[in-house]
Amino acid sequence: MQVKTDTKEKFHAITLPGPSISASMTEELAACLLPYLQNDVKNVVLILKDIESLDNAAAEKLVSIQQKFYEKGASFVICELQKKVEEFLDKDELLEMMNVTPTESEAWDIVQMEEIERELLGGEDASVP
């Protein structure tokens, strides 16, 4: 999977290519994203602006990947969803399980707040998004 990666101080901004994410791509998606948990900078902002559709298996895989990040004390924020993707996730009640923001700037704010929260809590209860 060819992705565009922009590494910032506290996170990696990863843009997935469009136009869709299907069930057949879920393992490739996990193989692309989960290795970031081994880096010094573990936080990921996933930019989905080019994704016009995804199926239920792909959406559930994104939820699962996000959970793995939070279990490891790292942030995983999805941003720039197209309206129909957002509506699909909402209809399947997956949107409420995801950490989603409208813009990359807001995703960066979430990452910063979660970093501060993890520092203040000393790692306790850091898996709560």
Determine the average pLDDT of the residues in 38-66: 95
User: Is 90 within the bounds of a domain?
Assistant: yes
Output the pLDDT for position 2.
84
Output the pLDDT for position 121.
87
> Strand, helix or coil at 60?
helix
Tally of CB atoms within 10 A around 6: 12
User: Is 126 within the bounds of a domain?
Assistant: no
User: Is 46 within the bounds of a domain?
Assistant: yes
User: pTM of the predicted model, to two decimals?
Assistant: 0.90
> Strand, helix or coil at 97?
helix
> For residue 62, what is the domain's CATH number?
3.30.750.24
Output the pLDDT for position 109.
96
> Strand, helix or coil at 54?
strand
Output the pLDDT for position 82.
96
**Number of folded domains that form the chain:** 1
Domain that holds residue 113: 4-121
Output the pLDDT for position 64.
96
User: Is 128 within the bounds of a domain?
Assistant: no
Output the pLDDT for position 124.
53
Determine the average pLDDT of the residues in 18-42: 92
Output the pLDDT for position 126.
46
pLDDT at residue 31 tops 60: yes
User: Is 60 within the bounds of a domain?
Assistant: yes
Q: pLDDT for 63-119, tens place per residue? A: 999 999 999 999 999 999 999 999 999 998 999 999 999 999 999 999 999 999 999
Determine the average pLDDT of the residues in 32-38: 95
Does residue 42 contact residue 69 with C-beta atoms inside 8 Å?
A: yes
What are the helix (H) ranges across the chain?
Answer: 26-33, 56-71, 83-91, 104-121
